[in-house]
Amino acid sequence: MTLTYSTASNTAHPPRLSPAYKSTVKRSPQKPLIIMRHTLSELTGPVYGHETVRENDHDLTTQHKGEPLGERIIVHGHVLDEDGRGVPNALVEVWQANACGRYVHVVDQHPAPLDPNFTGAGRAQTDGDGYYRFVTVKPGAYPWGNHHNAWRPAHVHFSVFGHAFISRLVTQMYFPGDPLFPFDPIFNSVTDEKARQRMVSAFDLENTQPEWALCYRFNIVLRGSGATPMETK
């Protein structure tokens, strides 16, 4: 089996220099990146098991004495490679603001209340078919200093490990129909409309739990190795 990760897949990513997002200006390389053949170093990646993900790490609403305030939601989805195959046992880490748009991080000074019942971090491992599921509260929008009256659309940060160190992905999951989309330079740093929409979750009525929580579905597509899957007929 030959493993070949096409760098053409990377065209979905935003350019590293995206001046509307001001912090990119001094933090993006100006010299050309060096193209190289992938070696075993690039084509392998960390493997983690149950010592990393505890049983209730996926539920951000049960980490404290009481329940966090806000709209309880389920976020679930399928981690796939671009060849359409589920990625089993993938580590998925999330972190987010609380329902008021405030992060527990010490640097966040947005004058919105912290919630003593919400840290905002979670972790899950995909099942044998590549599915994951979190329970959390819907994060609020929050202001930031990029430009006058700049507000981030509500989002959940995702960190995902695929099969190889070069399929590593950190992204943000957005919510459908957010009125802040046209004004956010981070969301719009992805210039291709179809690629941008892949960061927007879908409302999932089928998996919404009556009398309990709305559900959003967010599938995550990682780089694929292009290897031919085993046919099991």
Site for other proteins in 145-204 (CB under 8 A): 157, 159, 163-166, 168-172, 186-187, 189-190, 194-196, 198-199
Among residues 118, 131, 123, 35, which one has the least CA distance to residue 70? 118
230 binds other proteins (CB under 8 A): no
107 binds other proteins (CB under 8 A): yes
The residue from 102, 123, 152, 163 that is catalytic is: 152
| Closest distance to other proteins from the beta carbon of 32 (Å) | 8
**Vertex 204: Cα angle to 203 and 207 (nearest 5):** 150
Among residues 128, 133, 172, which one has the least CA distance to residue 153? 172
Q: Which stretch binds other proteins (CB under 8 A): 65-73, 120-128, 132-140, 175-183?
A: 120-128
| Closest distance to other proteins from the beta carbon of 110 (Å) | 11
209 binds other proteins (CB under 8 A): no
110 is catalytic: no
59 binds other proteins (CB under 8 A): no
Distance separating the N- and C-terminal Cα atoms of the chain: 19
Site for other proteins in 124-153 (CB under 8 A): none
49 binds other proteins (CB under 8 A): no
Comparison of 33 and 230: residue with beta carbon closer to other proteins: 33
Q: Please give the Cα distance from 181 to 169 (Å, whole number).
A: 22
Residue of 70, 72, 103, 136 that binds other proteins (CB under 8 A): 103
Strand, helix or coil at 10?
helix
44 binds other proteins (CB under 8 A): yes
Q: Which stretch binds other proteins (CB under 8 A): 29-37, 67-75, 132-140, 175-183?
A: 29-37
48 is catalytic: no
157 is catalytic: yes
Q: Please give the Cα distance from 152 to 130 (Å, whole number).
A: 29
Structure tokens at 125: 């491992």
Q: Is the dihedral of CA 57, 61, 86, 81 positive or negative?
A: negative
155 is catalytic: yes
DSSP 129-184: TSEEEEEEEPPPPEEESSSTTEEEPPEEEEEE--SSGGG-EEEEEE-TT-TTGGG-
